Amino acid sequence: MSNIILHHYPESPFSEKIRLLLGYKKQSYQAVTIPIIMPKPDLMPLTGGYRKTPVMQIGADIYCDTAIICRVIDRLCPDDTIYPTGSQATTTAATHWTDTFFFRVCVAVAFQPRALANNTFFQDQEAAASFMADRAKFTEGSTQLTMDFETAHPYFLGHLKRLDNQLESSEFLNGDMPTIIDFSTYHCCWFVHNIEAIRDSFSPFERVLAWFERMSAYGQGDLTELEGSAALEIAKNANPSSISKSGASEIDQMQVGDEVEVMPIDYGFQPVRGKLQLSSMEELVVGREEEQVGEVAVHFPRLGFRVTQLAQLR
Ligand SMILES: N[C@@H](CCC(=O)N[C@@H](CS)C(=O)NCC(=O)O)C(=O)O
Please list every protein residue whose CB sits less than 6 Å from any atom of ligand 1: 12-14, 51-53, 65-67, 99, 138
Distance of CA 170 from the midpoint of ligand 1 (Å): 30
Model's pTM, two decimal places? Answer: 0.97
What is the model's pLDDT at position 119?
82
Ligand 1 atom nearest the C-alpha of 266 is: 1
- Of the pLDDT bands very low, low, confident and very high (cuts 50, 70, 90), residue 245 is low
- How far, in Å, CA of 280 to CA of 300, rounded? 11
What is the model's pLDDT at position 123?
82
Distance of CA 295 from the midpoint of ligand 1 (Å): 25
- Of the pLDDT bands very low, low, confident and very high (cuts 50, 70, 90), residue 246 is low
Phi, psi of 226 (to 5 degrees): -130, 140
For the chain, the structural domain boundaries read: 5-79+223-313, 88-216
What is the model's pLDDT at position 252?
82
What is the model's pLDDT at position 205?
98
pLDDT digits (tens, 9 = 90+) for 57-88: 999 999 999 999 999 999 999 999 999 999 99
What is the model's pLDDT at position 248?
58
Enumerate the H helices of the chain as residue ranges: 13-24, 44-47, 66-76, 88-97, 103-110, 113-116, 120-123, 125-138, 149-166, 180-193, 206-216, 228-236, 310-313
pLDDT digits (tens, 9 = 90+) for 181-223: 999 999 999 999 999 999 999 999 999 999 999 999 999 999 9
What is the model's pLDDT at position 312?
86
Average of pLDDT values for 113-141?
A: 90
Residue 299 contacts residue 68 (beta carbons within 8 Å): yes
pLDDT digits (tens, 9 = 90+) for 97-111: 999 999 999 999 999
Distance of CA 246 from the midpoint of ligand 1 (Å): 31
Pairing type for strands 55-58 and 5-8 reads: antiparallel
pLDDT digits (tens, 9 = 90+) for 33-63: 999 999 999 999 999 999 999 999 999 999 9
What is the model's pLDDT at position 1?
86
Mutate which of 8, 50, 53, 185 to test ligand 1's pocket (most atoms within 8 Å of Cβ)? Answer: 53
What is the model's pLDDT at position 107?
97
Distance of CA 168 from the midpoint of ligand 1 (Å): 32
Mutate which of 19, 20, 52, 180 to test ligand 1's pocket (most atoms within 8 Å of Cβ)? Answer: 52
What is the model's pLDDT at position 253?
84
What are the Cα distances from residue 263, in Å, to 162, 166, 184, 238, 268?
33, 36, 22, 25, 8
Ligand 1 atom nearest the C-alpha of 264 is: 1
What is the model's pLDDT at position 249?
59
Fold of 5-79+223-313: Glutaredoxin (3.40.30)
Ligand 1 atom nearest the C-alpha of 13 is: 10
Residue percentage of the chain with pLDDT more than 90: 90
User: Would you give the end-to-end CA distance of the chain in angstroms?
Assistant: 46
Looking at residue 98, the DSSP 8-state letter turns out to be I
Distance of CA 212 from the midpoint of ligand 1 (Å): 21
Average of pLDDT values for 246-259?
A: 77
Distance of CA 14 from the midpoint of ligand 1 (Å): 6
CATH of 88-216, one of 3.50.50.60, 3.40.190.10, 1.20.1050.10, 3.40.50.720: 1.20.1050.10
Mutate which of 7, 14, 104 to test ligand 1's pocket (most atoms within 8 Å of Cβ)? Answer: 14
